[in-house]
Amino acid sequence: MCYLQIANAFYYNPSLTLATLHKLGVATEIFNLWFENMIRRFVAWG
C-alpha cells in the first residue's frame, strides 16, 4: 500500500485506519517512514 492510499484512508476514516495499522503491527513503522520522508524533502528544499 502506498502513502497516498494510507493518507486517503486517514482522511475518510482515521480511527479505523489507525486501528487497522495497529492491528497489523505496522502503525509505528508507517509513521516513522512517513515522517522520515517528509524531513528529507524539507531538508532538500532548504
Q: Compute how many other C-beta atoms are within 10 angstroms of the C-beta atom of residue 17.
A: 19
Long-range pairs for 37-45: beta carbons < 8 A, 24 or more residues apart: 37/3
Question: DSSP class of residue 13?
Answer: -
Domain that holds residue 9: 3-45
pTM for the full predicted model: 0.75
Query: What was the pLDDT predicted at 1?
Result: 53
- pLDDT tens track, the chain, 46 positions: 577 899 999 999 999 999 999 999 999 999 999 899 989 988 888 7
Cα-based distances in Å from 18 to 7, 30, 31, 43, 45? 11, 10, 10, 28, 30
Based on the structure, what is the number of domains in the chain?
A: 1
